[in-house]
Structure 1
Amino acid sequence: MEKGGWKDISQVLQNDIPHWPNDTPFTYETRFTKEQTGSVNVGRITSSLHTGTHIDAPYHFTNDGERVLDLDINLFIGPAKVIDVSLFDCLDVELLRSFQLERGTKRVLLKTTSEDAPTTFPKQIPLIKPEVAPYLAGLGVILLGVDLPSVDPLTSKELLTHHELNKNGIHILEGLVFADVVPGDYELIALPLPIQDGDGSPVRAVIRPLGKGDGENE
């Protein structure tokens, strides 16, 4: 990444992208060709809203929760701190404290692996303890991003970390790619699509390094 340049940290949406078991896989097809229409190619996609890099709206896990269009887009734009927790299988308050996050940090992005975008859906992911939510909220965090398909164990039905983050006003960004991203301070843009009644949305997530003093007045 060149100094000051934007880096894409999104998974590529392609027909073999990993997806949640039994959920709708992503597919793209050229539905109408230029030869058929006489003027243009027209593509069609089918997908779950939770495949690849995406945000969860609270409605995803609670029936009275906000939907995508209810969310302030400013949640997904601004300073973010990437921290490398790839050596740990359990992410708890004690671990996060060791990174000495500053009060006023608004967006925390957890790098749990040094690998490229996944080619298969994982069988197990690091555990993010629910109690990190009030700790992060106490620092001023409004968005937690992860390079995982979920902030809860893959077999969880209670989704305790989802609910605790929501209770503490922290929104969720999942499926990021940090393979060659070094820890540090960045500017993040990860805008959801304006999907009416959506419980989530794919995003194109990009970051660029923050210079000294950048983002302080956000």
Structure 2
Amino acid sequence: MSTRIWDISPPVQEGAPVFPGDTPYRQRWAAQIAPGCPVNVSEITLSPHVGAHADAPLHYDPTGQTSGQLALEPYLGPCRVIHAIGKGPLVTWEHLAHAARDLPARVLVRTYERAPVERWDPQLAAFAAATIEQLADLGVLLVGIDTASIDPAESKELPSHQAIRRRRLRVLENLVLDDVAEGDYELIALPLKLMTADASPVRAILREIPNPAPSSDLP
């Protein structure tokens, strides 16, 4: 039987929302199919924080690893999606506790009923730093959220990013979890091997975890 897949990446195209001041997605054609040219070849310019992306430690630590230096294990494996829809500007532990028993190493949090994939949201929900610390205490290696940042948009101190740095967690931002029920899945969201970049776009997906085949008592 086929395994169901949820694409949890927003569309990346001209007009896709970006953090104010960040480089938007732009594309031009370097070559187009025509007499004497057999192919289309595009040229793109974008911030690595456009769309679903993985922050590298270099983003919040001047001596941190780049995207190309990251180990891939945190971005691949069992994860849990937890709903904290409309719970306020900061996701606190009380918003996650109902689904926090026996957590896998990866936790994705849904805060939107419908993610605003076509506009910038200055009121985006973020993690409270204490929530990051508690997830790390429980063995979580990666956190993800369906907003553009794990810190409030206006924050200059970035307490949740600094908690990620201290606890050596990895982070995914700008996910789209609109159609994903609470529960356990397999996450696949590998960053590109960008050897000097502070983040990387990812094509993030969730895969259904198949139920184990029923045992048979037949000899």
TM-score (normalised: structure 1): 0.91
Give how far 1:66 is off: 1.3
Deviates more, 1:81-90 or 1:2-11: 2-11
Q: Relative to 1, partners in 2 of residues 1:170 and 1:125: Cα closer, same or farther, differing over 3 Å?
A: same
C-alpha distance in structure 2 between counterparts of 1:107 and 1:37, whole Å: 50
**C-alpha distance after superposition, 1:122-164 (max 9, x if no partner):** 0211241101122111211000011010000101111110010
Aligned to 1:38: 37
Give how far 1:94 is off: 2.9
C-alpha distance in structure 1 between counterparts of 2:101 and 2:169, whole Å: 16
Aligned to 1:195: 194
Q: Relative to 1, partners in 2 of residues 1:181 and 1:3: Cα closer, same or farther, differing over 3 Å?
A: farther
Q: Relative to 1, partners in 2 of residues 1:3 and 1:116: Cα closer, same or farther, differing over 3 Å?
A: farther
Give how far 1:45 is off: 0.7
Secondary structure of the equivalent of 2:99?
A: coil
User: One-letter code of the match for 2:191?
Assistant: P
Give how far 1:67 is off: 1.1
Deviates more, 1:129-138 or 1:31-40: 31-40
Give how far 1:6 is off: 1.6
Query: Which residues in structure 2 correspond to 1:48-197 (within 5 Å)?
Result: 48-89=47-88, 90-103=90-103, 105-197=104-196
C-alpha distance in structure 2 between counterparts of 1:155 and 1:194, whole Å: 30
User: One-letter code of the match for 2:152?
Assistant: P
Contact between 1:114 and 1:180, CA under 8 Å: does it hold in 2?
A: no
Aligned to 2:17: 18
Q: Relative to 1, partners in 2 of residues 1:36 and 1:12: Cα closer, same or farther, differing over 3 Å?
A: farther
Give how far 1:29 is off: 2.2
Give how far 1:36 is off: 6.4
C-alpha distance in structure 2 between counterparts of 1:43 and 1:195, whole Å: 19
Give how far 1:99 is off: 2.2
Quote the RMSD (CA, aligned, Å).
1.8
Secondary structure of the equivalent of 2:28?
A: strand
Give how far 1:119 is off: 1.1
Give how far 1:97 is off: 2.2
Give how far 1:117 is off: 4.7
Would you identify which runs of 4 or more consecutive aligned residues in structure 1 move more than 3 Å?
none
Q: Relative to 1, partners in 2 of residues 1:41 and 1:126: Cα closer, same or farther, differing over 3 Å?
A: same
Secondary structure of the equivalent of 2:119?
A: coil
Contact between 2:115 and 2:146, CA under 8 Å: does it hold in 1?
A: no
Unaligned runs of 5+ in 1: 214-218
**C-alpha distance after superposition, 1:177-216 (max 9, x if no partner):** 0111111110010011110111000000011121346xxx
User: One-letter code of the match for 2:65?
Assistant: E
C-alpha distance in structure 2 between counterparts of 1:116 and 1:158, whole Å: 25
TM-score (normalised: structure 2): 0.91
Unaligned runs of 5+ in 2: 213-219
**C-alpha distance after superposition, 1:18-41 (max 9, x if no partner):** 111111110122221121652211
C-alpha distance in structure 2 between counterparts of 1:142 and 1:77, whole Å: 11
Q: May I ask how many residue pairs the two structures share in their alignment? A: 212
Give how far 1:98 is off: 2.9
C-alpha distance in structure 2 between counterparts of 1:63 and 1:134, whole Å: 21
